[in-house]
Amino acid sequence: MLDRLLEILKAGGTHRVSDLARALDTTPELVEMMLEALSRAGYVKPVATCAETCSACSLADSCIPTQPGKAWTVNP
């Protein structure tokens, strides 16, 4: 399931944890744990926590502003 999550993330775009959970047929809590595991393994990294202003954010073009929380990026 970690491989599938990583495939989805590598495909690009912005995804809500709830949408990832549906795509993987699991819970949002498990997706959060998988993201943390992928981060510890060096595959993804947290980018930012949503702030009130988007103008300085590198993810502003692909953000889901109604979904505050951590943003992750895939390591090259």
Phi/psi for 11 (5° steps) reads: -70, -15
pLDDT computed for residue 17 by the predictor: 86
Q: Rounded to two decimals, what is the model's pTM?
A: 0.74
Q: Rounded to an integer, what is the distance from CA 57 to the centroid of its chain?
A: 15
Least confident of 21-25, 47-51, 53-57: 47-51
| Residue 7 and residue 34 in contact, taking contact as beta carbons nearer than 8 Å | no
| All structural domains of the chain | 2-74 (1.10.10)
More confident residue, 49 or 16: 16
3-class DSSP state of 9: helix
Does the structure show a pLDDT above 70 at 24?
yes
- State the DSSP code for 51: -
CA angle 39, 43, 49 (to 5 degrees): 45
Integer Cα distance of 33 and 61 in angstroms: 26
